[in-house]
Every structure is written in structure tokens, then in C-alpha cells.
Amino acid sequence: MQPATDDHRLLLQYFISHKVIAEDKIQQHFPKTRFEELVHGININLQNMHLEIKRIIAEEDGSVFWGIVNLKNDELSQIATNYNKVEVDLFKAILDKLASEGQMLYLDAIEVNPHMSRDKAENIILKFVDDKWLTRDGGELVLGLRARLELRPYLEEVFGEEMKECVFCTEIVFKGETCENDRCSTVAHRHCAQRWFAEKPNPKCPTCSEPWEDE
């Protein structure tokens, strides 16, 4: 155990209250170096509880967020403790669709369970959106940052090869760019590809060397 200061307690409480926090918002209160020191100290003390503060990058624009992750790989244990069986079953059905297609229409999500009324389904989905497990992006529904942080072991175990990793940052890709070569399975987040190829006049796939077309 590492001695905890008021800053450690304040930052931990901030994460408990907000779940997932933008890095630029955190740095309004803690300089980068101090923040990294605090996270290191907090994580040492959280080890025995199988919790960890981790960093994640938003697929949409590359912005950085931080959140507390439950490291236990129990089946959706992070969600099942806060939602009833009906709610968890609906989330699983949506998760299955998102894992295979990366996104789904919001209206399709409302109707994913034909035995549930639209109003009830929408209320449950909005609850998951509020808690950052899902994100509503216009008329589409995508996996939220909190789910990508906490459920990666579960996603990889259940969906296996359907889960694709970005060739540049190794995080899971739900919405991204793909290599033009049909025989190559390389995928990348758009913001990762843009950063990687920014100063390369003739960008090529890092796996097969096929010309990389910006999508």
C-alpha cells in the first residue's frame, strides 16, 4: 500500500463520480506530471481490488479519456451488479450486433428485442447511454468508452476474431479504415491512420505494403 494524500483521495472520488473523464478536463485540475504520479499511486492501492485507472482514446476523434476499469473477467460482472436481468439481456443483444458490425441504427436497437415495448427498450438504452456504456451518435448507437475500457477481455473472449485491433495503437476498432487489399485484414482507427501517414506522401499498409487510401 502507498500512503494516500488528499490529492489521491480527491482524484479517486472524481473518477468514482464521473466514471470516464476527458484528459483535458483532468488537466484543468492537475498538471500532466502530477496526474501521472497520482494515477500510479492510486493504481498500486487498487490492485487488491482488481481495479485500475486506465487511458483510452476515442475512436471518433482521437481525444484521450481516463476511467476506472474492473479487471475481473466475469461475464459482464461490471454491468450485472447495477442492472436487472432484463436490462443486461438487452445490452447483450445490442453488444452482439455492435461486435459484428461496429454500429447500429438507434431505431434498430430499440427493436432488437421483439418482445419488449419500444418505450421500455428506449428507456433502458438511454440509461446505458447516461452511464457511458453506450454512445448515441446522431441516428446511430456505438459502444461507449466505458464499455471499451471495462469489457475488452469479455469482448475478446466471447467474440474472438470478430474483434479487430488497430494496427497502430492495438486498441479494438469498431469504426475505422481497412486496407484496400482484400487478402489483408489490417484495420486502423481513422485518427491513428491520419497521424501515422501525415508526413508520408505515398502511404502504404504497414502489413502488406498496398497503397493506403484515406476513407
What are the domain boundaries of the chain?
Answer: 6-70, 77-150, 164-215
CATH assignment, 77-150: 1.10.10.10
pLDDT given for residue 77 in this prediction: 65
Binned at pLDDT 50, 70 and 90, residue 4 comes out as confident
Mean residue pLDDT across the chain: 87
Is the pLDDT at 104 greater than 70, yes or no? yes
Of residues 130 and 75, more confidently modeled: 130
79: cell is: 454491468
Burial zone of 28 (CB within 10 Å; 0-12 exposed, 13-18 middle, 19+ buried): exposed
Q: Which residues pair with 191 in a beta bridge?
A: none
Q: How far apart are CA 43 and CA 45, in angstroms?
A: 5
Q: Which residues contact 53 (CB under 8 A, 6 or more apart)?
A: 15, 39, 42, 43, 46, 66, 67, 68, 69
- Identify the weakest region by mean pLDDT among 10-24, 45-59, 62-76, 90-104: 62-76
35: cell is: 496526474
As a whole number, mean pLDDT of residues 2-18 equals: 86
- Highest mean pLDDT, choosing among 23-37, 61-75, 93-107: 23-37
Q: Is the distance from CB of 55 to CB of 35 less than 8 angstroms? A: no
Is the pLDDT at 200 greater than 90, yes or no? no
pLDDT given for residue 76 in this prediction: 62
Burial profile 82-92: b = 16 or more Cβ within 10 angstroms, e = fewer: ebeeebbebbe
75: cell is: 461475464
Q: How far apart are CA 198 and CA 18, in angstroms?
A: 34
As a whole number, mean pLDDT of residues 132-155 equals: 85
CATH assignment, 6-70: 3.90.1150.220
pLDDT given for residue 17 in this prediction: 85
Closest C-alpha to 98, from 174, 171, 172: 174
> The whole model's pTM is what?
0.74
Q: Is the distance from CB of 174 to CB of 102 less than 8 angstroms? A: yes
Binned at pLDDT 50, 70 and 90, residue 43 comes out as very high
pLDDT given for residue 97 in this prediction: 86
Fold classified for 164-215: Herpes Virus-1 (3.30.40)
